[in-house]
């Protein structure tokens, strides 16, 4: 036999059954619902302790990036162990703290509480709409991922530029773009679970949680710019 030829072993991955796909989807929805509790507690903690005011500027951005990427790395490393869920819930508490500055700013408006509730209801509405669409759409949406990735990069670059420019019009445009991109990401991620492309419910929860948080904070910022009433 010629030694230049190598044998290649092909591994066949057994597709998930419908029962297994439903189990992943059900566990994802349950964990996603539970993850909102630490998020609310984190936001309350940030506002009650005044920590939200210390999260502005470059220091807040550095803390967010280091904490977020550190938690996401830890979640991916522990997603197949019993530690995965507590790490994920710790991340959602951290994200609640990071959200507290924006929430505190909006609550400073005369109609701040109303705006927060509208943003919450709007985000829930987007989620249920995307979940319903994902159930009825039969075509494969995997080709959508590269366009969403490009959109997310453009959004990130625009957000960094607007940090230095501090333009209200720029913030308005970025918020509207973010709502569109992460709503589409929500549809894509739910469809991946339904089709069996995502088999780990902790990873699935992380993806959907990030989609929801981005839609919520973008919608809240949009409402604050357009509808905030100063006392």
Give the mean pLDDT of the chain.
86
Rounded to whole angstroms, the Cα distance separating 140 from 113 reads 40
Model confidence pLDDT, tens digit, residues 140-149: 777 787 888 8
Asked whether residue 5 is assigned to any structural domain, the reply reads: no
Asked whether residue 7 is assigned to any structural domain, the reply reads: no
Locus of tokens 């919608």: 219
Rounded to whole angstroms, the Cα distance separating 41 from 24 reads 26
Cα R_g (the chain), whole angstroms: 20
Asked whether residue 14 is assigned to any structural domain, the reply reads: no
Asked whether residue 11 is assigned to any structural domain, the reply reads: no
Asked whether residue 216 is assigned to any structural domain, the reply reads: yes
* More confidently predicted of 227 and 74: 74
Asked whether residue 38 is assigned to any structural domain, the reply reads: yes
Asked whether residue 221 is assigned to any structural domain, the reply reads: yes
Number of domains in the chain: 1
Q: What is the pLDDT of residue 231?
A: 62
Residue 58's contacts (CB-CB under 8 Å, 6 or more residues apart) are none
Is pLDDT of 58 > 70? no
Q: What is the pLDDT of residue 15?
A: 66
Model confidence pLDDT, tens digit, residues 23-52: 999 999 999 999 999 999 999 999 988 877
Enclosing domain of residue 64? 19-227
Percent with pLDDT over 90 in the chain: 52
Res. 6 pLDDT band, cuts 50 70 90: very low
Q: What is the mean pLDDT of residues 199-220?
A: 94
pTM above 0.85, yes or no: yes
Rounded to whole angstroms, the Cα distance separating 202 from 100 reads 24
Asked whether residue 96 is assigned to any structural domain, the reply reads: yes
Model confidence pLDDT, tens digit, residues 157-182: 887 787 777 777 888 888 899 999 99
């Amino acid at each position: 036999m010629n030694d230049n030829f190598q044998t290649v072993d092909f591994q066949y991955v057994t597709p998930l059954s419908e029962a297994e796909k439903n189990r992943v989807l059900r566990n994802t929805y349950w964990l996603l619902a539970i993850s909102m509790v630490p998020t609310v507690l984190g936001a309350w903690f940030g506002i009650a302790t005044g920590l939200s005011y210390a999260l502005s500027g470059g220091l807040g951005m550095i803390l967010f990036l280091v904490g977020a990427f550190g938690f996401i790395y830890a979640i991916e490393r522990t997603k197949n162990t019993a530690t995965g869920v507590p790490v994920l819930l710790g991340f959602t508490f951290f994200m609640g703290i990071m959200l507290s500055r924006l929430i505190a700013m909006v609550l400073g408006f005369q109609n701040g509480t109303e705006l927060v509730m509208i943003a919450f209801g709007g985000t829930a509405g987007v989620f249920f709409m995307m979940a319903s669409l994902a159930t009825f759409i039969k075509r494969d949406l995997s080709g959508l991922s590269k366009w969403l990735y490009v959109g997310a990069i453009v959004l990130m670059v625009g957000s960094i530029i607007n940090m230095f420019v501090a333009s209200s019009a720029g913030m308005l445009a970025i918020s509207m773009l973010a709502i569109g991109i992460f709503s589409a990401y929500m549809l894509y991620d739910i469809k991946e679970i339904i089709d069996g492309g995502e088999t780990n419910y902790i990873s699935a929860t992380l993806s959907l949680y990030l989609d929801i948080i981005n839609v919520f904070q973008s919608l809240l910022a949009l409402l604050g710019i357009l509808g905030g009433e100063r006392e």
